[in-house]
Amino acid sequence: MHIQRRLRTTCGLAMSLAMVTSLGLTASAQEATVEGLVVGRSGPTMLVRTGDSPKLTVLLSDSTKATEKGGFLGLDRKHPGIVDLVPGLAVKVEGSYDTDHQLIAKKVTFSRTAMNTARQIDAGLNPVNQQVAAAQDQLKSDRKDIDQNQQDTAKNSQDIDTTKQGLASTNAVTASNTQGIGQANQRFTTLDQYEDKGSITVNFANGKATVSKKDRDQLTDFVKSAANTPGFMIEVQGYASSVGSATLNQRLSSERADAVLAIIQQSGSVPMTRILAPAAMGTTNPVSGDHTRSAQAQNRRVVVTIVVNKGITG
């Protein structure tokens, strides 16, 4: 009797140890570290191109730790936050996969050199993306006109004789299916393009990056209204006038963008995952090309825009 009881106890312990070991192996198997290039981001969703996947979905959160390495041997480190994860940035992501094979990021690491390169790419491509988006909108409008003309032609053909009605109906179904496929394809090709839903401009004194109380209050009210826009993102772009050296103006545009970003974060209305990395645009895109004081004052600004990703909202 004692021997049987001992055998049962020993078998139970062995089974428990096997289950714990199996669970441990399963949990550790889900952990992953990947390296790749950021190709797009909308809110908490970031797309990364790796050697194994052209678009790996990475899920971010306010607890995701972003670390920038720089200096000698990469020992100098900063923790700027996930707003700096811009398209074109080479990153290493550490985390674990969920049941949908999406990588839940715990830590994202990148070099200072990679960040500088990505910001240059982002600042240079932003005007081009806007032009491409406008051209695609025009193309979409033209296609709608063509579809409408084809529908009118099909309707007229139906009035000619009953035989052509069946053929016109078949063509209409085919055209509808083709249009649906085209809309789906366009949805996927516009993942990195945004539609403007409203903006506000904050102006600055010459050589300064301080936001006035009046502008601070107006900015806070503006970003609070963004919460009512489905799928919104906040874009921050800093500019400088042509007064002074190029290096100084680039630094001022960056400091002004950071000052406005701090106010947006302090408002508590916008999660970090809904803010695009602030862009220092220097003296590009001036409001006025004149060299008068009033014209230069208009160019010393930060533009805050509510945008919606076309590929996500459809």
Per-residue pLDDT at 303: 96
For residues 7-29, give the mean pLDDT: 48
For tokens 């002004």, what's the residue?
256
Domain boundary among 160, 189, 218: 189
Average pLDDT over residues 121-128: 60
Neighbours of 304 (CB within 10 A): 23
| pLDDT tens, position by position, 189-221 | 444 577 888 999 999 999 999 999 999 999 999
Output the pTM of the full model: 0.52
User: Which of 189, 221, 236 represents a domain boundary (last residue)?
Assistant: 189
- 161 and 175 in a single domain? The answer is yes
Kindly indicate the confidence band of residue 247, based on its pLDDT and cuts at 50, 70 and 90: very high
Claim to verify: residue 226 and residue 272 sit in the same structural domain: yes
In this structure, are 238 and 258 located in the same domain?
Answer: yes
Tell whether 146 and 209 lie within a shared domain. Answer: no
Q: Is 185 found in the same domain as 79?
A: no
The candidate with the shortest Cα–Cα distance to 93, out of 118, 65, 73, is: 65
**Are 184 and 285 in a shared domain?**
no
Co-location of 148 and 162 in the same domain? yes
Same domain, 158 and 261: no
Residue pLDDT, tens place only, 130-152: 555 566 666 666 677 677 767 77
> Which residues constitute the domain of residue 182?
125-189
More confident residue, 83 or 252: 252
State the Cα–Cα distance between residues 117 and 97, nearest whole angstrom: 29
Q: How far apart are CA 216 and CA 97, in angstroms?
A: 41
- CB atoms closer than 10 angstroms to residue 215: 18
* 22 assigned to some structural domain: no
Q: Give the integer Cα–Cα distance in Å for 15 and 289.
A: 79
* Per-residue model confidence as pLDDT tens digits over 21-71: 444 444 444 789 999 999 988 888 999 999 888 989 999 988 898 888 876
Count of domains observed in the chain: 3
Q: Range with the lowest mean pLDDT among 47-61, 66-80, 265-279, 287-301?
A: 66-80
The predicted structure's pLDDT at residue 133: 57
130 and 52 inside one domain: no
Indicate the range of 6-20, 105-119, 197-211, 214-228 predicted with least confidence: 6-20
CA–CA dist 309, 306 (Å, integer): 10
Is pLDDT of 127 > 50?
A: yes
| Residue 243: CATH number of its domain | 3.30.1330.60
Residue 134 φ/ψ, nearest 5 degrees: -65, -40
Let me know whether 272 and 309 are in one domain. yes
Q: What is the pLDDT of residue 95?
A: 95
164 and 213 co-located in one domain = no
Least confident of 8-12, 157-161, 199-203: 8-12
User: Residues 281, 303: one domain?
Assistant: yes
More confident residue, 76 or 81: 81
Assess if residue 26 is contained within a domain.
Answer: no
Average pLDDT over the chain reads 77
How far is it, in rounded angstroms, from Cα 225 to Cα 256?
Answer: 22
Q: In the chain, pLDDT over 70 holds for what percent of residues?
A: 66
Residue 91 belongs to a domain: yes
Q: Which of 9-23, 97-111, 266-280 is modeled with the greatest confidence?
A: 97-111
